[in-house]
Amino acid sequence: MDVFHSKLVEAAGAESVKTQEMMKNHTTFRVGGPAAGYVTPSDEAALSGVVSLCKAEHVPYYIIGNGSNLLVGDLGYDGVIISMSENWNYCRVEGKRITAGAGTLLFKIAKSALEASLTGFEFAAGIPGTLGGAVVMNAGAYGSEMKCVLESARVLTGEGKIRNLSLKELELGYRKSCIPSNGYIVLEAVILLDAGDKEAVREKMDELARQRREKQ
C-alpha cells in the first residue's frame, strides 16, 4: 500500500488522501471499520486521476456522498473510498435553475429553492442523501422523483471523459438510471423548478416533514 499511497498522493494531493480511515466517521449509521485509502478529490482532474490509478493497479474503489444508509463492516474496506461530500458541496441558483455539486445534501438544495421561492423540490427535503446518489437512483418520495425536476447531469465516464447528459440520456426509471451500468460518476446536476410562493413552499416542506416523522 505504501507505493500505491504515494501514487494516490501524486494524483489527488497529500491533503486529500488518508489511510486506514474509519468509515464509522463517514456513515449515517456510525459504523464501519477502516478504509485502506480514503480520498476527497478537489476537482475533476484529481477525481479522474484517482479512478484511473485504481483501475490500472486493480484496486477496488467505491464512491460515496453523505454515507446515508451505507453499511460498512467492522473489517472495513480493502480499497479506496472516494468521497464527494467534502469538495463537491455547492449550490447556485440562477433564475429557476439550481446547479449543485454531487456532494450537496438534498436538504441544502431544498432550502436554497425555498429561499428563492422556487417550487418542485419539496419532496426531496427530507431524503437523507446527496444529489449524486439521488441522480443515480432517481430518488423520490411523496409522489415525485428526480426525473420530474432534473434537467441535466455532468458526469465523469469510465474513460475519463466529461459528459453532460440530458434528462433523456440519463434514462431515469423507478430507482434507476443509466449511470451505474455505464460506470459514470456524477459530478453535478442542474435542477429546473417553477416559480412559487415562499410561504406555500415552506408549508409543504413542513407538512412532508411531519408525515415523514409520523411514518418513521
Q: Phi first, then psi: what are they for 20, rounded to 5°? A: 50, 45
Residue 96 C-alpha cell reads as: 429557476
- pLDDT over threshold 70, residue 15: yes
Nearest to 156 by CA among 46, 54, 3, 65: 46
Residue 2 pLDDT more than 90? no
Phi, psi of 191, deg, nearest 5: -110, 130
CA 63 to chain centre: 9
Q: What percent of the chain has pLDDT over 70?
A: 99
pLDDT at position 55, please?
A: 97
pLDDT at 216 over 80: no
Q: What is the pLDDT of residues 47-90, one digit of tens each?
A: 999 999 999 999 999 999 999 989 999 999 999 999 999 999 99
Tell me: the pLDDT tens digits for 192-201?
A: 999 999 999 9
- Indicate whether this model's pTM tops 0.85: yes
**Is the pLDDT at 177 greater than 90, yes or no?**
yes
Write out pLDDT tens, residues 108-127: 999 999 999 999 999 999 89
Distances (CA, A) of 20 to 5, 27, 50: 11, 15, 17
* pLDDT score, position 212: 83
How sure is the predictor about 1, in pLDDT bands with cuts at 50, 70 and 90? low
Residue 204 has what pLDDT?
94
